[in-house]
């Protein structure tokens, strides 16, 4: 009987693939596994499968928001240190800088305090108008982002179905001068995460802004401002809240004086919806 | 394949555009900080490591290869490695970076609220997948990935043969892969 040394070597190295992916091998063994993988289709297939698990591990950590100063520290340091070789790749002037976030005010909860900026990627970034620029400077308003709602909702629903824990979606209805507007409130079970999406919003003149209110079912509790915004040219606006929306809570939108909005609603909301019990 | 503008962003970084670094941080800064904090357990150290990692990426942006993975993976790898090095008292030059196999990873991070909803639900599934592992298998994975121990060190620490540690790691990752695949979390 002969010993298949190649087979033994393969089995030994294959057994180390998981440790390799977890970066748990000593240098010499890591090099052996790396070299073996190059010429071994079955180990490459194993790598592909196990990478799925390893690559998911970062998402298993608790989400913690870094202090705002960290961003400033990094950008300040980068500004005075040489970047990668500027001529290494062609410049790509397609990155659109975002407005700097302003400090929250005392009277009104702002997007800085409560909302995470909606980041466009493949989405189309709307050019900021003059009114938007004023808002950015004074209030840290989010940039308007056109969202392909149908696709995104479908995507969220697909994920929800797969995860067997569907997000709940509630309607926000318009009336009066806002009859053509509507929206949805989507909450994710067990997550401090909600999404408000509005469409069909009439444009506001430069002195006005839309203001979002969270209204407690207890009439003795004052409305809480969630922030102000200007819709994109298509009358759409989508924003993420890092909070839950409890049953009985209403979300309402009013037009208020810009750029900061009002401490409390100055008109009866014509765009509103309630999370049912 | 360009994923969610990764290629454009990497090109802007390589061109030395500071606003591209700001965009990279806005996309992945929170994830990076969360990982560093998970590994180091100290907010001050986590800040230092994240700053160090982003500046390292800033200085080497022209080496980003989209075929080997997304920007998200690039950031996560840099932050995790630096966190482990910091934790274990290793200097960066001692580390031989593991290269991500071609085609092994090419997914991008979500880019809008709806995607963030989906990402939040995926995170929940991933936590479930980890939580569902037998304790000894989860321990092997966590000691390696989040604490930076080698399989040999883990074997000595928990007093089991080296082959047992390797086996637990492989079983853990196989089970996680099956769980995630069954719940539709994309690879």
In order along its 277 residues, chain A shows pLDDT tens digits of 555 556 668 888 889 999 999 999 988 888 889 889 888 899 989 998 999 999 999 989 988 999 999 999 999 888 877 665 444 443 332 222 222 223 333 232 223 223 333 332 222 222 222 233 333 333 333 332 333 344 444 555 555 554 445 677 788 988 888 888 888 888 777 667 778 888 889 888 878 888 899 888 777 778 888 888 888 777 888 777 777 788 888 899 999 988 888 888 888 888 998 888 7
Does the CB of B2 have a partner CB in chain A at under 8 Å?
A: no
Same CATH topology for B1-109 and B112-187: the answer is: no
Give the chain A residue nearest B113 (alpha carbons).
A240
Interface test with B, best of A33, A55, A199 (most B CBs within 10 A): A55
> Which residue among B26, B38, B169 places its CB closest to the CB of A98?
B26
Interface touch B27/A119, C-beta < 8 Å: yes
Give the Cβ contact number of residue A125 at 10 Å. Answer: 16
Interface touch B121/A61, C-beta < 8 Å: no
- The structural domains of chain B, with segments of one domain joined by +, span 1-109, 112-187
* Domain spanning B1-109: CATH 1.10.1740.10: yes
CB contact set of A161 (below 8 Å; sequence gap of 6+): B184
Domain B112-187, CATH number (from 3.40.140.10, 1.10.3720.10, 2.10.25.10, 1.10.10.10) = 1.10.10.10
Is the backbone peptide bond immediately before B170 cis, with ω within 30 degrees of 0? no
> Which residue among A24, A121, A195 places its CB closest to the CB of B114?
A195
Interface test with A, best of B2, B117, B122 (most A CBs within 10 A): B117
Q: Dig out the tokens for B56 from the structure.
A: 């390292």
Tell me the whole-structure pTM to 2 decimals. Answer: 0.55
Q: Which of B24, B91, B87, B29 is nearest to B61 (CA)?
A: B24
> Which residue among A83, A121, A188 places its CB closest to the CB of B4?
A121
Interface touch B113/A81, C-beta < 8 Å: no
| Contact status, residue A141 vs residue A228, Cβ threshold 8 Å | yes
Give the chain B residue nearest A22 (alpha carbons).
B145
Interface touch A84/B47, C-beta < 8 Å: no
| Contact status, residue A169 vs residue A186, Cβ threshold 8 Å | yes
């Amino acid at each position: 009987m002969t010993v298949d040394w190649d087979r033994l070597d393969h089995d030994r190295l294959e057994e180390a693939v998981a440790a390799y992916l977890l970066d748990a091998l000593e240098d010499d063994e890591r090099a052996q596994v790396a070299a073996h993988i190059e010429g071994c289709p079955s180990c490459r297939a194993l790598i592909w499968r196990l990478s799925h698990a390893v690559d998911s591990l970062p998402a298993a950590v608790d989400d913690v928001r870094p202090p705002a100063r960290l961003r400033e520290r990094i950008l300040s340091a980068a500004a005075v240190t040489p970047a990668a070789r500027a001529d290494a790749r062609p410049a790509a002037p397609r990155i659109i800088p975002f407005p700097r976030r302003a400090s929250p005010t005392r009277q009104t909860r702002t997007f800085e305090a409560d909302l995470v900026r909606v980041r466009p990627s493949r989405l189309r970034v709307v050019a900021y108008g003059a009114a938007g620029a004023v808002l950015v400077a004074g209030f840290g308003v989010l940039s308007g982002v056109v969202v392909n709602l149908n696709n995104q909702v479908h995507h969220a629903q697909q994920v929800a179905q797969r995860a067997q824990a569907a997000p709940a979606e509630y309607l926000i209805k318009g009336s009066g001068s806002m009859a053509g507007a509507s929206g949805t409130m989507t909450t994710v079970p067990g997550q401090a995460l909600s999404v408000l999406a509005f469409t069909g919003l009439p444009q506001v003149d430069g002195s006005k802004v839309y203001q979002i209110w969270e209204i407690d079912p207890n009439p003795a509790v004052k409305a809480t401002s969630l922030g102000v915004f200007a819709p994109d040219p298509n009358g759409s606006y989508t924003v993420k809240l890092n909070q839950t929306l409890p049953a009985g809570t209403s979300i309402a939108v009013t037009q208020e004086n810009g750029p900061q909005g009002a401490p409390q609603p100055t008109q009866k909301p014509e765009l509103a919806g309630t999370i049912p019990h | 394949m360009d994923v969610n503008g990764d290629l454009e962003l990497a090109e802007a970084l390589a061109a030395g555009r500071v606003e591209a670094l700001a965009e990279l941080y806005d996309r992945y800064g929170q994830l990076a900080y969360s990982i560093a904090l998970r590994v180091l357990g100290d907010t001050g150290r986590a800040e230092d490591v994240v700053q160090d990692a982003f500046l390292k990426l800033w200085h080497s942006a022209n080496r980003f290869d989209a075929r080997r993975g997304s920007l998200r993976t690039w950031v996560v790898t840099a932050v995790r490695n630096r966190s482990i090095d910091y934790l274990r008292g290793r200097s960066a030059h001692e580390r031989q970076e593991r290269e991500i196999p071609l085609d092994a990873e090419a997914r991008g991070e979500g880019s809008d609220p709806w995607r963030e909803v989906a990402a939040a639900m995926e995170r929940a599934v991933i936590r479930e997948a980890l939580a569902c592992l037998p304790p000894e298998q989860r321990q092997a994975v966590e000691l390696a990935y989040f604490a930076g121990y080698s399989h040999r060190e883990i074997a000595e620490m928990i007093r089991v043969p080296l082959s047992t540690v390797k086996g637990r790691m492989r079983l853990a990752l196989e089970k996680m892969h099956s769980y995630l695949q069954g719940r539709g979390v994309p690879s």
